[in-house]
Structure 1
Amino acid sequence: MSETGESTATRERVTIRTVAAHAGVSVAAVSKVLRNAYGVSESLRGRVEASIDTLNYRPSRTARGLRGSTFTIGLLLVDIRNPFLPEVIDGVNGVLAPSHYRAMIGVGEAKTHLETTLIESMIDYKMDGLIMVAPRLPSEIISRFAEQIPIVAVGYHDPTAKNFDTVNCDDQKGAALAVQAFIERGYRKISMLTLGSREGHKVSVVRQREIGYRQAMEAAGLTAELDVHGVPVFSPDREDSIRAFLRRPDRPEAVFCWSDLDAVTLLNVAAEMEVRVPEDLAVIGYDNSPVAALSLINLSSIDQSGRALGVLATETLLSRIEGRTAPAALVCAPSFIARGSSFNGGTLKL
């Protein structure tokens, strides 16, 4: 007994072996419970979790790393300012909560060199896997990293990926839903507001939505009305670019925005310029972010369920960590959420 009355046994760190002995099971069984591995019985889980609570066991992530597992995953976001991303994070954390895994978040700021540095750091810290949301890196670079760490890319349309997994909304379908909604409401002069930068190429959600917009317009016989207008994102020139778009003498009747991020800005600039929505200009965004449903915003939007994407990406990553080697390319179906920005008081524009 020490001078403080604390026993030597109490001061000794509780290890996974201590938990196994207390629960009367193997170390491997405790590890399976901690990883929320498939096939663990409720009886076994209950015994192990009871011992963990009794012993106040806190796993050593350093020791785990030496054994080859830290029960941490990296979550690499393209930019924290997009209101859609918290929904994805919520989905990830919802799956991880009962598994004893934890997510460590990094923000790449849409810069390839920063993304690369963050991935290398996550590998150095021996994280067990990595979820990348809308990465800007070329597929061959992601593939090289995937040789060192299991990876799932969300918002990355690469059907040729072999050693990493992809989870996407059907972005071409989502754009087509927006165009179809406008056409059903009598609009024909339909533009698309997209990113001005060409960075991201064909695998990005932005380019996929552009493809979907073009294909839907052509299928409707509106090829002559095709109009893709690029605006800079997170730039001082962004609102000026949108103002210039709204001042055009050939301003469209309806605008499909690649994301709610630009759609909300468009609504704000339109209000400043006394352009009525939807009477003068109908608007549909993409993401169905929480702000879209606010009564003052009332933005129609394409719902791709960020939480569902986060859940699916995390489940896919955990199965890859558990040993799956066959590549998975999973696609979720989008839906159209109608609000006041695209439909004026129940009256179709004819």
Structure 2
Amino acid sequence: MSVDNKKPAERADRVTIRTVAAHAGVSVAAVSKVMRNAYGVSDNLRAKVTVSIEELRYRPSRAARGLRGKTFTIGLLLVDIRNPFLPEVIAGVNAVLAPSHYQAMIGVGEARMQLETSLIESMIDYKMDGLILVAPRLPSEIITRFAAQIPIVAVGYHDSTADGFDTINADDQRGAEIAVDALLECGYRDIEMLTQLARAGHKVSVVRQREIGFRRAMQRAGLGSSAPITNIPLESPRREETIRKFLARSDRPRAVFCWSDIDAIVVMSMAAEMGVRVPEDLAVVGYDNSSIAALGLVNLASIDQSGRELGQTATRTLLSRIEGRSEAVHILQMPSLVTRRSLAG
């Protein structure tokens, strides 16, 4: 009688989920729950299964998963990888996926509807288990049609009426109000908003929501008739030219609220070049509290919507969809202001 003296590492190709279950002394269903990071799994069960997976060096076959209807992959569609806010969202997604054996596959839509559509279709073709769309440009009815084929959660997409997919957002209207209220408390009343051109975002976008909040706060302060909004093109060099003209205006406001740190940091950089002092000549508040905003040489006051928390919440919500939840949920998280020198020296 021969004896198999091979170590677990040498038998890895023959290890199955049943092998793991037997090694851990639990059911196959329990192993599956741990791997899917299912709700209600105890720390003790997770520890036992994880030890067995590591000792046996179990690596599930993705081909087999696909045949069973599961690939343990999540599609993460980003609007623009250049936005410094997005790495925090990605970190939040990965933090939740790490113990679940799911993996995220990233695509970048570049704010183009045709490319977004093509990427989503490819993710569906690759049998991904669910999608997280970050600030998609697609109309709600198109996302709903895709959601009939695959679970979808949209981040940075304000459609609380959607019943086919979930939405996770910071309260962008409230965030803009917080920014304006902070400027008012510092004594500024001549306040303007810099935003994206209307074609760069529709009514469900964070841009439009922040505009609504800006106008509401200015109206509440009795400044509704003098609440100007300047549109900034997305493309360079028109973007920089527009910001330069804004800074050079003879009627330039005393304070500006920027829809994103992306433009707020450019404003501060150009202001330094043109001899416009921040905050002495122009107070600036951005949005996203990006890592660049916190740098000592930048020191930009900004609205923090916690990208990491948005990513975590979106991922947990998607996993619950994958587990079978059918009713739509729409979650709003409260943003806050991080005060820095650009608001008041």
TM-score greater than 0.5 by the shorter chain: yes
| Contact map agreement 1:191 1:226 (CA 8 A) in 2 | yes
Q: Secondary structure at the match of 1:153?
A: strand
- Rounded to whole Å, the distance in 2 between the matches of 1:235 and 1:258 is 17
What residue number does 1:319 align with? 320
Aligned positions of 1:257-272 closer than 5 A: 257-272=258-273
Structure 2 vs 1, CA of residues 42 and 135 (structure 1 numbering), >3 Å: closer, same or farther? same
What residue number does 1:210 align with? 211
What residue number does 2:109 align with? 108
**Structure 1 stretch displaced more, 29-38 or 256-265:** 29-38
- Rounded to whole Å, the distance in 2 between the matches of 1:238 and 1:11 is 55
What residue number does 1:303 align with? 304
Structure 2 vs 1, CA of residues 11 and 56 (structure 1 numbering), >3 Å: closer, same or farther? closer
CA RMSD of aligned residues (A): 1.7
Aligned positions of 1:87-166 closer than 5 A: 87-166=88-167
Q: Secondary structure at the match of 1:239?
A: helix
- Rounded to whole Å, the distance in 2 between the matches of 1:18 and 1:276 is 67
| Contact map agreement 2:74 2:102 (CA 8 A) in 1 | yes
Instruction: Give the C-alpha shift of residue 257 in structure 1.
Output: 0.1
What are the ranges of 5 or more consecutive residues in structure 1 without an aligned counterpart?
A: 345-350
What residue number does 2:333 align with? 332
Q: Secondary structure at the match of 2:199?
A: coil
What residue number does 1:294 align with? 295
Instruction: Give the C-alpha shift of residue 12 in structure 1.
Output: 4.2
Instruction: Give the C-alpha shift of residue 10 in structure 1.
Output: 2.9
1:75-100 C-alpha deviation (Å, 9 max, x unpaired): 11000000000011111111111111
- Rounded to whole Å, the distance in 1 between the matches of 2:36 and 2:12 is 27
- Rounded to whole Å, the distance in 2 between the matches of 1:129 and 1:323 is 12
Percent of matched pairs sharing the same residue: 70
Structure 2 vs 1, CA of residues 12 and 92 (structure 1 numbering), >3 Å: closer, same or farther? closer
What residue number does 1:15 align with? 16
1:4-47 C-alpha deviation (Å, 9 max, x unpaired): x979x837432223222333433222111111112223343333
**Structure 1 stretch displaced more, 195-204 or 157-166:** 195-204
1:112-153 C-alpha deviation (Å, 9 max, x unpaired): 111111111111111111111100000000000001111110
| Contact map agreement 2:12 2:56 (CA 8 A) in 1 | no
Structure 1 letter corresponding to 2:142: I
| Contact map agreement 1:197 1:232 (CA 8 A) in 2 | no
- Rounded to whole Å, the distance in 2 between the matches of 1:98 and 1:116 is 30
- Rounded to whole Å, the distance in 2 between the matches of 1:278 and 1:196 is 26
| Contact map agreement 1:188 1:225 (CA 8 A) in 2 | no
Structure 2 vs 1, CA of residues 51 and 232 (structure 1 numbering), >3 Å: closer, same or farther? same
Structure 2 vs 1, CA of residues 283 and 50 (structure 1 numbering), >3 Å: closer, same or farther? same
Q: TM-score, normalised by structure 2?
A: 0.95
Q: Secondary structure at the match of 2:128?
A: coil
1:328-350 C-alpha deviation (Å, 9 max, x unpaired): 00000011111111103xxxxxx
Aligned positions of 1:212-251 closer than 5 A: 212-251=213-252
- Rounded to whole Å, the distance in 2 between the matches of 1:186 and 1:22 is 68
Structure 2 letter corresponding to 1:176: E
| Contact map agreement 2:12 2:58 (CA 8 A) in 1 | no
What residue number does 1:348 align with? none
Q: TM-score, normalised by structure 1?
A: 0.93
Instruction: Give the C-alpha shift of residue 235 in structure 1.
Output: 2.2
What are the ranges of 5 or more consecutive residues in structure 2 without an aligned counterpart?
A: none
What residue number does 1:84 align with? 85
- The reply to whether residue 189 of structure 1 matches residue 155 of structure 2 is no
1:293-324 C-alpha deviation (Å, 9 max, x unpaired): 11100000011111111111111111111111
| Contact map agreement 1:284 1:341 (CA 8 A) in 2 | yes
| Contact map agreement 2:196 2:232 (CA 8 A) in 1 | yes
What residue number does 2:36 align with? 35
Structure 1 letter corresponding to 2:118: T
Structure 2 vs 1, CA of residues 182 and 60 (structure 1 numbering), >3 Å: closer, same or farther? same
Q: Secondary structure at the match of 1:290?
A: coil
